[in-house]
A = this chain, B = another copy of it.
Protein backbone atom coordinates (compact mmCIF):
# COMPACT_ATOMS: atom_id res chain seq x y z
CA UNK A 1 0.00 0.00 0.00
CA UNK A 2 1.29 3.41 -0.87
CA UNK A 3 1.76 5.70 2.10
CA UNK A 4 -0.71 8.59 1.87
CA UNK A 5 0.85 11.86 2.84
CA UNK A 6 -1.08 15.01 3.52
CA UNK A 7 0.40 18.01 1.69
CA UNK A 8 0.57 21.25 3.64
CA UNK A 9 0.76 24.75 2.16
CA UNK A 10 4.27 26.08 1.51
CA UNK A 11 3.83 28.95 3.91
CA UNK A 12 2.79 26.59 6.70
CA UNK A 13 5.80 24.40 6.04
CA UNK A 14 8.12 27.39 6.30
CA UNK A 15 6.45 28.51 9.52
CA UNK A 16 6.95 25.10 11.09
CA UNK A 17 10.66 25.28 10.38
CA UNK A 18 10.97 28.81 11.70
CA UNK A 19 9.52 27.81 15.06
CA UNK A 20 12.96 26.40 15.68
CA UNK A 21 15.29 29.02 17.04
CA UNK A 22 18.81 29.11 15.66
CA UNK A 23 20.94 31.96 16.86
CA UNK A 24 23.95 33.35 15.08
CA UNK A 25 27.48 33.63 16.38
CA UNK A 26 29.94 36.46 15.98
CA UNK A 27 33.54 36.30 14.86
CA UNK A 28 36.04 39.07 14.17
CA UNK A 29 37.79 39.19 10.83
CA UNK A 30 40.34 41.64 9.38
CA UNK A 31 38.61 44.36 7.38
CA UNK A 32 40.16 43.10 4.14
CA UNK A 33 38.52 39.72 4.64
CA UNK A 34 35.11 41.15 5.49
CA UNK A 35 33.76 41.76 1.98
CA UNK A 36 30.61 39.70 1.38
CA UNK A 37 30.16 38.81 5.05
CA UNK A 38 27.29 40.02 7.24
CA UNK A 39 27.63 42.59 10.03
CA UNK A 40 27.07 40.97 13.42
CA UNK A 41 26.58 44.30 15.21
CA UNK A 42 25.02 47.64 14.37
CA UNK A 43 27.62 50.08 13.07
CA UNK A 44 27.71 53.22 15.17
CA UNK A 45 29.74 56.28 14.18
CA UNK A 46 32.80 56.22 16.47
CA UNK A 47 33.58 59.83 15.60
CA UNK A 48 32.24 62.75 13.60
CA UNK A 49 32.86 62.46 9.87
CA UNK A 50 34.69 64.53 8.91
CA UNK A 51 36.23 64.95 12.34
CA UNK A 52 37.43 68.46 11.53
CA UNK A 53 36.25 71.25 9.19
CA UNK A 54 38.02 70.70 5.93
CA UNK A 55 38.37 71.97 2.41
CA UNK A 56 36.77 69.85 -0.30
CA UNK A 57 38.77 71.69 -2.98
CA UNK A 58 42.19 72.99 -3.79
CA UNK A 59 42.14 76.70 -3.16
CA UNK A 60 42.52 79.39 -0.54
CA UNK A 61 40.96 79.45 2.90
CA UNK A 62 39.69 82.94 3.75
CA UNK A 63 37.49 84.81 6.18
CA UNK A 64 34.28 85.26 4.16
CA UNK A 65 33.71 88.72 5.64
CA UNK A 66 36.86 89.94 3.87
CA UNK A 67 35.45 88.99 0.47
CA UNK A 68 32.42 91.25 0.73
CA UNK A 69 32.32 93.67 -2.15
CA UNK A 70 34.76 91.80 -4.35
CA UNK A 71 33.72 92.10 -8.01
CA UNK A 72 35.15 92.09 -11.50
CA UNK A 73 35.61 95.84 -11.25
CA UNK A 74 37.08 95.86 -7.78
CA UNK A 75 38.93 92.66 -6.95
CA UNK A 76 39.95 92.09 -3.35
CA UNK A 77 43.53 91.08 -2.64
CA UNK A 78 44.71 88.71 0.08
CA UNK A 79 48.17 87.99 1.36
CA UNK A 80 48.83 84.26 1.35
CA UNK A 81 50.35 83.56 4.75
CA UNK A 82 50.19 79.79 5.03
CA UNK A 83 50.22 76.65 2.92
CA UNK A 84 48.28 73.66 4.24
CA UNK A 85 48.65 70.27 2.60
CA UNK A 86 46.24 67.46 3.27
CA UNK A 87 47.30 65.84 6.50
CA UNK A 88 48.75 69.04 7.92
CA UNK A 89 47.28 71.81 10.05
CA UNK A 90 47.63 75.59 9.92
CA UNK A 91 50.99 76.91 11.12
CA UNK A 92 50.00 80.56 11.51
CA UNK A 93 46.88 82.55 12.29
CA UNK A 94 45.03 83.96 9.31
CA UNK A 95 44.15 87.63 9.86
CA UNK A 96 42.13 90.21 7.94
CA UNK A 97 42.75 90.09 4.20
CA UNK A 98 44.98 87.13 4.65
CA UNK A 99 44.49 83.68 3.16
CA UNK A 100 45.97 80.20 3.45
CA UNK A 101 46.69 78.10 0.39
CA UNK A 102 44.83 74.89 1.17
CA UNK A 103 44.70 71.45 -0.51
CA UNK A 104 41.75 69.14 -0.97
CA UNK A 105 40.99 67.41 2.30
CA UNK A 106 43.15 69.65 4.47
CA UNK A 107 41.94 71.04 7.78
CA UNK A 108 40.61 74.61 7.71
CA UNK A 109 42.50 77.24 9.70
CA UNK A 110 40.37 78.08 12.75
CA UNK A 111 39.88 81.71 11.64
CA UNK A 112 38.63 80.87 8.15
CA UNK A 113 35.08 80.02 7.10
CA UNK A 114 35.17 79.80 3.28
CA UNK A 115 37.33 78.40 0.52
CA UNK A 116 38.05 80.11 -2.77
CA UNK A 117 38.55 77.48 -5.45
CA UNK A 118 41.95 77.69 -7.06
CA UNK A 119 40.61 78.44 -10.51
CA UNK A 120 38.72 81.50 -9.22
CA UNK A 121 41.82 83.11 -7.72
CA UNK A 122 44.50 85.11 -9.46
CA UNK A 123 47.91 84.73 -7.83
CA UNK A 124 50.91 87.04 -7.83
CA UNK A 125 54.13 87.56 -5.97
CA UNK A 126 55.68 90.78 -4.74
CA UNK A 127 58.09 91.92 -2.05
CA UNK A 128 58.87 88.25 -1.37
CA UNK A 129 55.26 87.68 -0.45
CA UNK A 130 52.48 85.77 -2.15
CA UNK A 131 49.15 87.31 -2.95
CA UNK A 132 45.90 86.20 -4.49
CA UNK A 133 42.90 88.22 -5.57
CA UNK A 134 39.29 87.39 -6.24
CA UNK A 135 36.51 89.03 -8.22
CA UNK A 136 33.50 87.78 -6.29
CA UNK A 137 32.37 87.48 -2.72
CA UNK A 138 31.91 84.30 -0.67
CA UNK A 139 29.50 83.52 2.11
CA UNK A 140 30.47 81.97 5.39
CA UNK A 141 30.52 78.19 4.85
CA UNK A 142 31.10 78.31 1.11
CA UNK A 143 33.15 75.31 0.02
CA UNK A 144 33.74 74.00 3.51
CA UNK A 145 33.01 70.45 4.60
CA UNK A 146 31.97 70.86 8.20
CA UNK A 147 32.84 68.54 11.03
CA UNK A 148 30.12 65.92 11.41
CA UNK A 149 28.30 66.82 8.19
CA UNK A 150 28.66 63.28 6.89
CA UNK A 151 27.99 61.49 10.19
CA UNK A 152 27.69 62.49 13.82
CA UNK A 153 29.48 60.55 16.52
CA UNK A 154 27.05 58.04 18.01
CA UNK A 155 24.73 57.85 14.98
CA UNK A 156 23.69 54.32 14.14
CA UNK A 157 24.63 54.06 10.50
CA UNK A 158 24.01 50.43 9.62
CA UNK A 159 22.04 47.66 11.20
CA UNK A 160 23.41 44.22 11.89
CA UNK A 161 22.66 41.69 9.20
CA UNK A 162 23.78 44.11 6.47
CA UNK A 163 25.89 42.42 3.84
CA UNK A 164 29.27 44.07 3.66
CA UNK A 165 29.76 45.79 0.31
CA UNK A 166 32.59 48.10 -0.77
CA UNK A 167 30.75 51.14 0.60
CA UNK A 168 30.29 49.48 3.99
CA UNK A 169 34.00 48.73 4.02
CA UNK A 170 34.76 52.42 3.41
CA UNK A 171 32.64 53.20 6.49
CA UNK A 172 34.29 50.54 8.61
CA UNK A 173 37.71 51.91 7.66
CA UNK A 174 36.62 55.47 8.41
CA UNK A 175 35.71 54.43 11.95
CA UNK A 176 38.86 52.49 12.56
CA UNK A 177 37.39 48.99 12.44
CA UNK A 178 40.50 47.11 11.42
CA UNK A 179 38.71 44.01 12.72
CA UNK A 180 35.06 43.64 11.88
CA UNK A 181 32.40 41.74 13.85
CA UNK A 182 30.71 39.48 11.32
CA UNK A 183 28.28 36.60 11.59
CA UNK A 184 30.11 33.32 11.73
CA UNK A 185 29.17 31.21 8.73
CA UNK A 186 26.69 28.57 9.90
CA UNK A 187 28.01 25.08 9.20
CA UNK A 188 25.55 23.03 7.19
CA UNK A 189 26.10 19.29 6.93
CA UNK A 190 25.33 17.61 3.61
CA UNK A 191 24.84 14.06 2.33
CA UNK A 192 23.71 13.00 -1.12
CA UNK A 193 21.85 9.68 -1.13
CA UNK A 194 21.25 7.33 -4.04
CA UNK A 195 22.87 4.19 -5.36
CA UNK A 196 22.57 5.67 -8.85
CA UNK A 197 25.03 8.44 -8.05
CA UNK A 198 28.47 8.41 -9.61
CA UNK A 199 31.19 10.78 -8.50
CA UNK A 200 31.80 13.66 -10.88
CA UNK A 201 35.08 12.20 -12.07
CA UNK A 202 33.61 8.74 -12.77
CA UNK A 203 32.66 7.54 -16.25
CA UNK A 204 28.96 7.13 -16.99
CA UNK A 205 27.38 3.71 -16.57
CA UNK A 206 24.00 2.39 -17.67
CA UNK A 207 21.33 3.51 -15.24
CA UNK A 208 23.65 5.70 -13.22
CA UNK A 209 24.14 9.46 -13.24
CA UNK A 210 26.71 11.75 -11.83
CA UNK A 211 26.06 13.36 -8.48
CA UNK A 212 25.17 16.93 -9.39
CA UNK A 213 22.97 17.74 -6.42
CA UNK A 214 25.59 17.88 -3.74
CA UNK A 215 27.84 20.20 -5.74
CA UNK A 216 24.87 22.39 -6.54
CA UNK A 217 23.71 22.51 -2.92
CA UNK A 218 27.25 23.27 -1.76
CA UNK A 219 27.15 26.35 -3.99
CA UNK A 220 23.67 27.27 -2.74
CA UNK A 221 24.94 27.00 0.82
CA UNK A 222 27.84 29.27 -0.10
CA UNK A 223 25.56 31.75 -1.85
CA UNK A 224 23.29 31.89 1.17
CA UNK A 225 26.22 32.88 3.39
CA UNK A 226 26.91 29.58 5.15
CA UNK A 227 29.67 26.98 4.94
CA UNK A 228 29.13 23.41 3.79
CA UNK A 229 30.45 20.34 5.53
CA UNK A 230 30.09 17.72 2.87
CA UNK A 231 29.99 14.21 4.25
CA UNK A 232 29.83 12.40 0.93
CA UNK A 233 27.28 10.26 -0.83
CA UNK A 234 25.39 7.30 0.53
CA UNK A 235 23.97 4.26 -1.23
CA UNK A 236 20.31 3.29 -0.86
CA UNK A 237 20.95 1.03 2.12
CA UNK A 238 19.15 1.61 5.38
CA UNK A 239 21.88 0.65 7.82
CA UNK A 240 24.61 2.54 6.00
CA UNK A 241 22.47 5.66 5.81
CA UNK A 242 21.27 5.43 9.40
CA UNK A 243 24.76 5.03 10.83
CA UNK A 244 26.17 7.88 8.71
CA UNK A 245 23.34 10.27 9.52
CA UNK A 246 23.40 9.46 13.23
CA UNK A 247 27.14 10.15 13.28
CA UNK A 248 26.78 13.39 11.30
CA UNK A 249 24.26 14.71 13.82
CA UNK A 250 27.03 14.62 16.40
CA UNK A 251 28.85 17.20 14.31
CA UNK A 252 26.20 19.50 12.89
CA UNK A 253 22.94 21.16 13.95
CA UNK A 254 21.58 21.43 10.42
CA UNK A 255 21.82 18.42 8.17
CA UNK A 256 20.71 18.46 4.57
CA UNK A 257 20.24 15.28 2.59
CA UNK A 258 19.25 14.94 -1.04
CA UNK A 259 17.14 12.03 -2.24
CA UNK A 260 15.47 9.21 -0.38
CA UNK A 261 12.36 11.09 0.76
CA UNK A 262 9.83 9.91 -1.79
CA UNK A 263 7.64 6.82 -1.60
CA UNK A 264 10.01 4.50 -3.47
CA UNK A 265 11.07 1.20 -1.97
CA UNK A 266 14.57 2.53 -1.35
CA UNK A 267 13.53 5.90 0.06
CA UNK A 268 14.81 5.29 3.55
CA UNK A 269 14.83 8.77 5.02
CA UNK A 270 11.33 8.51 6.56
CA UNK A 271 12.33 5.31 8.35
CA UNK A 272 15.61 6.85 9.43
CA UNK A 273 13.83 9.85 10.97
CA UNK A 274 11.60 7.41 12.81
CA UNK A 275 14.47 5.32 14.17
CA UNK A 276 16.34 8.47 15.22
CA UNK A 277 13.26 9.56 17.14
CA UNK A 278 13.03 12.75 15.10
CA UNK A 279 9.73 14.59 14.80
CA UNK A 280 8.69 14.97 11.17
CA UNK A 281 7.46 18.55 10.73
CA UNK A 282 6.06 17.77 7.30
CA UNK A 283 6.68 15.23 4.54
CA UNK A 284 4.60 16.65 1.73
CA UNK A 285 4.22 20.21 0.56
CA UNK A 286 1.58 21.51 -1.82
CA UNK A 287 4.15 22.70 -4.33
CA UNK A 288 5.88 21.78 -7.60
CA UNK A 289 8.67 20.97 -7.79
CA UNK A 290 9.72 19.69 -4.38
CA UNK A 291 6.48 18.24 -3.04
CA UNK A 292 8.29 15.40 -1.29
CA UNK A 293 10.49 17.75 0.72
CA UNK A 294 10.57 16.43 4.25
CA UNK A 295 11.80 18.26 7.31
CA UNK A 296 12.32 16.75 10.74
CA UNK A 297 13.61 18.00 14.05
CA UNK A 298 15.58 16.13 16.62
CA UNK A 299 15.99 18.17 19.78
CA UNK A 300 17.60 21.40 18.66
CA UNK A 301 18.67 20.01 15.32
CA UNK A 302 17.02 20.25 11.93
CA UNK A 303 17.09 17.58 9.24
CA UNK A 304 16.22 18.76 5.76
CA UNK A 305 15.30 15.92 3.43
CA UNK A 306 15.41 17.51 -0.01
CA UNK A 307 14.24 15.77 -3.14
CA UNK A 308 16.76 13.97 -5.30
CA UNK A 309 15.43 15.71 -8.40
CA UNK A 310 17.84 18.57 -9.07
CA UNK A 311 15.28 21.31 -9.56
CA UNK A 312 13.12 20.15 -6.67
CA UNK A 313 16.24 20.01 -4.53
CA UNK A 314 17.23 23.51 -5.64
CA UNK A 315 13.84 25.04 -4.88
CA UNK A 316 13.54 23.18 -1.58
CA UNK A 317 16.87 24.58 -0.45
CA UNK A 318 15.98 28.17 -1.31
CA UNK A 319 12.54 28.06 0.31
CA UNK A 320 13.27 26.05 3.42
CA UNK A 321 16.97 25.98 4.27
CA UNK A 322 18.04 29.46 3.24
CA UNK A 323 15.77 31.34 5.69
CA UNK A 324 17.28 29.43 8.62
CA UNK A 325 20.78 30.33 7.44
CA UNK A 326 19.88 33.97 6.89
CA UNK A 327 18.46 34.21 10.38
CA UNK A 328 21.82 33.07 11.72
CA UNK A 329 23.39 35.92 9.73
CA UNK A 330 21.48 38.44 11.87
CA UNK A 331 19.13 39.73 9.22
CA UNK A 332 15.38 39.93 9.75
CA UNK A 333 14.75 39.70 6.00
CA UNK A 334 15.43 36.01 5.86
CA UNK A 335 13.39 35.06 2.81
CA UNK A 336 14.12 35.50 -0.86
CA UNK A 337 13.25 39.00 -1.95
CA UNK A 338 9.85 39.05 -3.59
CA UNK A 339 8.96 41.45 -6.35
CA UNK A 340 6.18 41.77 -8.89
CA UNK A 341 6.79 41.31 -12.58
CA UNK A 342 4.92 40.85 -15.80
CA UNK A 343 5.05 37.37 -17.30
CA UNK A 344 7.17 37.48 -20.45
CA UNK A 345 5.54 34.56 -22.23
CA UNK A 346 2.46 32.36 -21.96
CA UNK A 347 2.55 29.66 -19.30
CA UNK A 348 -0.43 27.49 -20.22
CA UNK A 349 0.04 24.71 -17.66
CA UNK A 350 -2.54 24.67 -14.87
CA UNK A 351 -1.18 24.81 -11.35
CA UNK A 352 -2.92 22.37 -9.03
CA UNK A 353 -0.24 23.17 -6.47
CA UNK A 354 1.86 26.28 -5.99
CA UNK A 355 4.43 26.19 -8.72
CA UNK A 356 7.91 27.67 -8.60
CA UNK A 357 9.11 28.28 -12.13
CA UNK A 358 12.82 28.79 -12.72
CA UNK A 359 12.99 32.16 -14.41
CA UNK A 360 15.12 34.91 -15.75
CA UNK A 361 14.33 38.45 -14.70
CA UNK A 362 14.55 41.07 -17.42
CA UNK A 363 14.21 44.81 -17.33
CA UNK A 364 12.29 46.47 -20.14
CA UNK A 365 11.68 50.21 -20.14
CA UNK A 366 11.62 50.37 -16.37
CA UNK A 367 9.37 47.32 -16.00
CA UNK A 368 10.23 43.91 -14.62
CA UNK A 369 9.58 40.97 -16.90
CA UNK A 370 9.83 37.37 -15.77
CA UNK A 371 10.63 34.72 -18.38
CA UNK A 372 10.81 30.97 -17.67
CA UNK A 373 14.46 30.00 -18.10
CA UNK A 374 13.87 26.61 -19.66
CA UNK A 375 11.81 23.46 -19.70
CA UNK A 376 9.97 23.23 -16.42
CA UNK A 377 10.29 19.62 -15.40
CA UNK A 378 11.68 18.84 -12.01
CA UNK A 379 14.50 16.67 -13.35
CA UNK A 380 15.82 19.25 -15.75
CA UNK A 381 19.02 20.84 -14.52
CA UNK A 382 19.71 22.96 -17.57
CA UNK A 383 17.15 25.61 -16.75
CA UNK A 384 18.77 26.25 -13.38
CA UNK A 385 21.92 27.78 -14.82
CA UNK A 386 19.94 30.55 -16.51
CA UNK A 387 17.65 31.22 -13.57
CA UNK A 388 18.05 34.24 -11.34
CA UNK A 389 14.51 34.08 -10.02
CA UNK A 390 11.67 31.75 -9.13
CA UNK A 391 8.27 32.76 -10.41
CA UNK A 392 5.49 31.85 -7.97
CA UNK A 393 2.24 30.63 -9.54
CA UNK A 394 -0.25 29.99 -6.73
CA UNK A 395 -1.94 26.63 -6.43
CA UNK A 396 -5.46 26.43 -7.82
CA UNK A 397 -4.76 28.72 -10.75
CA UNK A 398 -5.14 27.87 -14.41
CA UNK A 399 -2.72 28.85 -17.14
CA UNK A 400 -1.12 32.26 -17.23
CA UNK A 401 -0.71 34.53 -20.19
CA UNK A 402 2.03 36.84 -21.32
CA UNK A 403 1.61 40.15 -19.52
CA UNK A 404 -0.08 38.69 -16.46
CA UNK A 405 1.28 39.97 -13.20
CA UNK A 406 3.20 37.41 -11.18
CA UNK A 407 5.24 37.29 -8.01
CA UNK A 408 8.90 36.53 -8.42
CA UNK A 409 11.54 35.54 -5.84
CA UNK A 410 15.03 36.87 -6.55
CA UNK A 411 17.80 34.31 -6.19
CA UNK A 412 20.81 36.60 -6.54
CA UNK A 413 19.57 39.41 -4.34
CA UNK A 414 20.92 40.00 -0.85
CA UNK A 415 18.25 42.24 0.58
CA UNK A 416 15.61 39.62 1.13
CA UNK A 417 12.04 39.92 2.37
CA UNK A 418 10.71 39.59 5.89
CA UNK A 419 7.76 37.51 4.63
CA UNK A 420 7.99 34.48 2.31
CA UNK A 421 5.49 36.07 -0.16
Is A150 an interface residue, CB under 8 A from the partner? yes
Is A41 an interface residue, CB under 8 A from the partner? no
Total number of A residues with any Cβ neighbor in B under 8 Å: 115
Is A308 an interface residue, CB under 8 A from the partner? yes
- In the complex, what distance in Å separates the CA atom of A201 from the CA atom of B202? 51
Q: How far is the CB of A167 from chain B (nearest CB, A)?
A: 3
- In the complex, what distance in Å separates the CA atom of A230 from the CA atom of B177? 18
Name the B residues within 8 Å of A47 (CB-CB). 204
Cross-chain contact B375 with A167 (CB below 8 angstroms): no
**Identical copies in the complex:** 2
Cross-chain contact B384 with A223 (CB below 8 angstroms): no
Q: How far is the CB of A110 from chain B (nearest CB, A)?
A: 11
Cross-chain contact A366 with B341 (CB below 8 angstroms): yes
Name the B residues within 8 Å of A204 (CB-CB). 47, 51, 176
Q: A49-B382, A340-B366, A379-B56 are in contact. Are A174 and B104 (CB under 8 A)?
A: no
Name the B residues within 8 Å of A165 (CB-CB). 219, 223, 385, 388, 412
Q: A166-B220, A166-B223, A366-B368 are in contact. Are A107 and B377 (CB under 8 A)?
A: no
Name the B residues within 8 Å of A6 (CB-CB). none
Cross-chain contact A31 with B200 (CB below 8 angstroms): yes
- In the complex, what distance in Å separates the CA atom of A144 from the CA atom of B384? 21
Name the B residues within 8 Å of A217 (CB-CB). 166
Q: How far is the CB of A377 from chain B (nearest CB, A)?
A: 7
Cross-chain contact B195 with A85 (CB below 8 angstroms): yes
